[in-house]
Amino acid sequence: MKKKFIRAIFPGSFDPITNGHLDVINRGVKLFDELIVAVGRSPIKNPLFTPQERVEMIKELLADIPNVSVESFDGLMVKYAKRREVDVILRGLRSLTDVQYEFTLAMTNRAVAGLETIFVMTSAEYGFTSSTLIREAASLGGDVSNMIPKTVYDRLQQRLKKKKS
């Protein structure tokens, strides 16, 4: 039987992309034929980077992976996924708390668009990594260098300096 070509979407805010996100992406590209990393353009609380900057940073980090692309989208994620003829949604899980939220999200996306969600568990070392906490900790002077790639850390430092001046 011919294997079906599977295109997955990994949606998120990615403000900024973390080592945890990269872990999920690296697992995803092995599972699916094509993976779209989709940066939501809808506003989030205290954003640090514009959606365009986030896309740029992610593209730079994933430049060597052939079956991944990075895009941004507006509005309802499943509508965008349908338009891009995506077969499945990829999401990452860190803890049981994530499961509770992701469960309702996945049920809603299935009810609204008939799209299934596949979850991958992150490595234990990234179990506490979250973009929100990184933004908060970094803005208060905390060292977040082991949670994000070096290129992202450098841009984060520049951005925080600019914000202060």
Tell me: does residue 13 bind ligand ADP (CB under 6 A).
yes
In the complex with ligand ADP, the residue whose CB is nearer, 3 or 115, is 115
Whether 21 is catalytic is yes
> Contact with ligand ADP (CB under 6 A): which of 7, 9, 20, 62?
20
Q: Is 18 in the site for ligand ADP (CB under 6 A)?
A: yes
* Binder of ligand ADP out of 49, 68, 129, 144 (CB under 6 A): 129
* Phi/psi-derived region of residue 10, left when phi > 0, alpha when psi is between -120 and 50, beta in every other case: beta
Three-state SS across 20-78? HHHHHHHHHHHHCCEEEEEEECCCCCCCCCCHHHHHHHHHHHCCCCCCEEEEEECCCHH
44, 136 contact by CB (below 8 A) = no
Known catalytic membership, residue 30:
no
What are the Cα distances from residue 6, in Å, to 66, 69, 110?
15, 14, 17
Using the rule CB under 6 A, is 153 a contact of ligand ADP? no
Tokens at 146, concatenated = 């082991």
What's the rounded Cα separation, in Å, for the pair 143 and 146?
A: 8
CA-based end-to-end distance of the chain: 62
Nearer to ligand ADP, 4 or 107 (CB): 107
Size of the site for ligand ADP (CB under 6 A): 17
Q: Is 73 in the site for ligand ADP (CB under 6 A)?
A: no
Return the number of the residue (12 or 51) whose C-beta is nearest ligand ADP: 12
Binding region for ligand ADP (CB under 6 A): 12-14, 18, 20-21, 23-24, 91-92, 94, 98, 122, 126, 129-131
Catalytic machinery residues: 21, 45, 94, 131
